[in-house]
Structure 1
Amino acid sequence: MTERIDVLHVDDDPSVLDLTEAYLDRELASASVTSVTGPEAGLERLDEESFDCVVSDYDMPGMDGLAFFETLREDDPHVPFVLYTGKGSEEIASRALNAGVTGYFQKGGPEQLQRLANRVDQAVEEHRTRAVADRYSTVIDALGYPVYVVDETGAFTFVNEPFAELTGYDREEILGSTPDLIKGDEAVAEAEDRLGSILSSDGPGIQRFRVDIDPKEGDPIPCRDHMAVLPYEGEEFDGSVGILRDVSEEAARREELETKRRALDEAPVGITITDPSLPDNPMVYVNDEFVEMTGYDREDAVGVNCRFLQGEETDEAAVTELREAIDAEEPASVELLNYRKDGTPFWNRVSVAPIREHDEDRVTGWVGFQEDITAFKEREGALRRQNERLDEFAGIVSHDLRNPLNVARGRVDLAQEETGNDHLAAAADALDRIESIVEHTLTLAREGETVGDPEPVDLATLVDDSWGTVDTDEADLEIDLEGHVLADPDRLRNLFENLIRNSIEHRGADDPVTIRVGDLGDRFYVADDGPGIPEEVRDDLFEPGESGAEGNTGFGLAIVKEIATAHGWEIAATTPETGGARFEIRGVVRPEKEPAE
């Protein structure tokens, strides 16, 4: 051994101490011998410093060598102890070995001193090797990893308890068996190839590779094997050692991450991820849709801030709103005019949200969703221009057409009073019809506007109010409604008025009609027991101008549909088995909490 060996020699004969020290110094170049003349002195030195080996005489005054050994073992049960005595006997040797001393030698000439030196050197090396092994064993046990040793014949000579638990076999079943007990043929072949690579002169000292372990029961367990060879000298290979690590959860997480990555890559919207810990919060990920939408390759985009998409006509107010949300670590969504790599502008709905560290409030990243809404903005602009033209048309109808219509009606009335001509009565009726068409056209244009801020409306009360504004002669009303819906009360009242009026106008001549209004949770209905819906108008029932009643303008149900659509509802007409007509308004929203009365 080249590492220093500290030896404590205890003997009541100074000449023996001197001789032994000189011999050990000569034979063990790394030895440092401390000599004391009695067990008490030896114990005192052991209290003050540590030694790698203790050599002691047996026959000493006050305390013999075995008593000294037993006293020492109470404080240090592991230090090597060699009994070197001039009073040797089989009895003393037997007692010494049974007590657990490391070695027993009788004093003698150079041959015995040589044997003593060799045993000290060997005992210290074994002790140090055992200490290292114990430390590694403690670490391995603390980690809880399955450990195995395979000898040169390919049989298991050691497995720990975690290894047995992993495989489902008892240790006794594993020891002496070969790895094909827990591995398939391909896995065994790969392990042998890996071992050969380690044993080759230019191969790595350790091989790490994936392997599926076939347990005694259940499905294969994905593991990672860390394999190395046992230390050996010359060409006598002694076997291999390995540590297995169950990577089932790791494989599942990797598969989950891969699934999420593919989902991000293939998402139909542009997705970016930025890292605020880096200067200027650059993008560290962009998906395929972002590349296609902007024209910038990943090499162009990753590593820079996404503001490079902005241009001269980008709304600074929207950019500021986005920046302030990021500074406040809050999500935000804005619409920006951005520019592709080729310089063409496109409308981009940008939504960002912070990514927070698990169980902490610290923001570790930002995810951004980018949606090309150019076509939507173009349709929005076209619709806005169409609505503007519709408003202009409504103004023309309301003012420029209604004024001359009123004049014509007034003149006809005067002429009828002066002449009593019956033809003028027909002309007055025609003018009344024209005025009704104008009024319903304006209503249709107005009711098509989207409801922006609905409020809770009591259905039963509103139906009762609507009933009072319609000429309901020869008609009865039954109400089976509860609670409120979110709606524009004025437009909802108009919807009920038109449905009630429709039922009354389409009843048979002089026939009474009963109108029922009820709710079905997320929908309500208006039904009657009249003649039902004529087959010839069923397909175009909600189109303006379609009606099954003589003299009816056919705008009522078209207005009802526009009001429903403006609320985000749907309307459907059915013919109940009991006859009549039934109109269902579907998709209504109830308030989360009913208002107090």
Structure 2
Amino acid sequence: MSEKVNSIRILHVDDDPDLAELVSTYLRREDSHFEVVSAGSASDGLDTLAETDIDCVVSDYDMPERNGIELLEAVRERDADLPFILFTAKGSEDIASDAISAGVTDYLQKGVGTDQYAVLANRIRNVVDKWRAEREAERTKRRLEAIAENSSDAILTVDSTNTIQFVNQATEDLFGYDPETLRGDSLFTLIPERYRDGHRQGMERFLETNDRSLDWTAIEFSAQHREGHEVPVSISFSTFKEGGERKFVGVLRDISERVRMEDELRERERRFRQMAENIQEMVWMTDPTKGEVLYVNPAYEEIWGRSPDALYEDPQSFADAIHPEDRDRVEEILDPQSTGSYEEEYRIVRPNGETRWVYDRAVPVKNEAGEVYRTVGIASDITERREREREFDRVVELLDHTERVADVGGWEVDPKTGDAFWSDHLFELIGWEGDRAPSLEDVVDIYVEEDRPRVEAAVENALTHGESFAIEARLQRSNGEDRWMEIRGDPHVENGEVTTLRGAVHDITERKQRERALHELYDVTSDPDLSFDEKVQALLRLGRRELGTEYGTLSSIHDDEYVFEFVDTDRETIQPGDVVPVSATNCELVASTRQTVVIGDVERDAPEETGRAGFTEWGISSYIGAPVFDTGDVYGTFCFYDTAARADRFTDWEETLVDLMSNWVTVELQRKRTTEQLRDQNEQLSQFASIVSHDLRNPLNVAKGRLELVREEYDGEHIDAVRRSHERMQDLIDDLLALARVGEQMGELERVNPADVASDCWRTVATTEATLRTAISRSVRADESRFRQLFENLISNAIEHGGEDVTVTVGELDDGFYVEDTGVGIPEENRNSVFEPGYSTTRNGTGFGLHIVNQVVKAHGWDIRVTTGARDGARFEVTGVEFSSE
């Protein structure tokens, strides 16, 4: 325990408690720094010494068990120096002699009156002050001895006659002398002869006048080694008096390594300057703390167009020359507070207005304390390089654009290493996953097995004989799709050896498909063994596969555009406005609008059973159409128009395909009608969501805010009731918005893991002390957003009705999954009603949660039913689910 400043803790041992209390009181009155601890016996006093730091013991002589002398002897066994005052009523020479022999510090006989306590207090202060001073002196002595013996510096003391009186062990390491040999020897033993007269004169002047001829701190000179060579040292002196005599103590440190490093540094600096003065890059050095430029080589003027002297005079001119658009960015890293390394490219503006690009890099230099005190950097003129890079980027961009326009990807292979390079568009064409091009061996494996030998032979021939090639082959993309590619290769030959093989790849899949379609069309139409119905079926399959709708226009009797309707051709005349239902045979095509009927030139050379006809009217030179049926009545037709947008008439195979695509068009019409209905429905839902989110939510927010203002002035149960109503309205709005989102069209189906979705929803729903268990491993194909709504509402329903400690289980069925809880369950008579909007069995429920679940299930084409769980809770089973095979 550390001593309190001026505080003295006294142990008073006396078997008379009244006297002990009196002594303690008067001692504290005499000196407020006294802390008195009383003990009624010698044994108690020894226990106190063992547990408490005591500065002085004051003890009576006559005590039971042990007297004061015996206590003193026991104390001295523990501490030979602790102050001990024998304060006794008995005053005999024998007692005093025994006390002195036992090591008592002071002896005081008790008297009469209170003045004796002032004397006792004075005695205590004296013995404690002396004891503390001696103890501190001993500590200081031990510290100095430890410092001297463990210091790596040489420490010595000399008297006024330059006689060495003390040296430590480190002196031998520095000068080669045994310490015992140097004691009593002259200090001049360690001083080279050329310094001795100066030292002697300085010593004499100081002893006479106390005037120092130089600073005695860290003086550097050369000392004399025992072997004769000189040692560079740094010495610090101080003076002290001992026994009335002036003496000196010196600390000498070997600075040989530092001197060597300084010499080496100067040599490096010489070499650095020689190098820096002759290179083209600008070399510079600054003091980041002072903002000073310490050095810049002549290349600064070549690059910046300004002289080094001007930079020394005005360091800010360096930053002023930076282009205004780059200045803020560069000044941030040049800030004195920024002491890290950097690499930056920026522009400068020369005095003549010329802009140059520079590449500047710098590193911080730290001193021995780890502080950054220098920044060194090199700046290079990279204007020409930047111009080349910009030109290169322009060429690369043009090449990439050209590749995409032509739908061609480029490649290059090194035959020696097998390393390959692909253009970005080639990665897209091939469908290769990864950012590195495959090797030559790996890329051949991309092509289908039947075409692979042809590719390998072409590449081998190019590498062996240096011959270019152009082949067609199929490859399989990572998604499993087969594509036809035209591969061209051009070897570069040097000294009869192929050094590089370059080429291009062009996707010709569409061209190959068109060629195949033309061949199939010819085969079908020219096959005499096929009936007309068989040809229709074959061409229908061909049309569905090959012919898109980009050339077609679907017309309907429900539109304002042209409508193509079939009329009876058995009648001799066709009157404007006549519309006759389609019969099984004998029909022609009539063009009409919703206002008038327009009859064109009907060509009767086409087979009647095909329902084909042609006409010329209003710039439409020709068209082809196929009837579309809807529950037995003509609904419309699918047509191709030959307008000014097409350079030629329809080909025979296009007309034939369109004639036989009526079934497909019927399906498309139904889809269109459904899409229009969904669009109208979504528009209504969007309007509804807008009303709920704006026209209802905003007034509700105003009402809630006004209620809080009312609460500041009034309070009562009616206000709480209004607040609960507001919260109820907020819940209803949120659920209505969720219900509106369910009405949106389904998104793309993807692979979704029910266990993962349930776990994610569990973290977002306030589940309190509830528990989630998942017992499903397979994934399903679903719209993930809708699927998440389903689980959020089922989990919320379980928490709401099952209590805070409910357990919710997500499990797997043969054709679906289930969500089951351990709550109270749903009575059988209510199971058909739980999915109805607004149905709820709790006071705070909105009744939309399970309705949303039902809507999501229906949107996916699934089924849902409610039953009883294993522990009598509610169990929702979703079936008809398609599990993912991935």
TM-score, length-normalised on structure 2? 0.31
Structure showing greater Rg: 2
TM-score, length-normalised on structure 1? 0.43
Work out which structure has the larger RCO, using CA pairs closer than 8 Å and 6 or more positions apart in sequence: 1
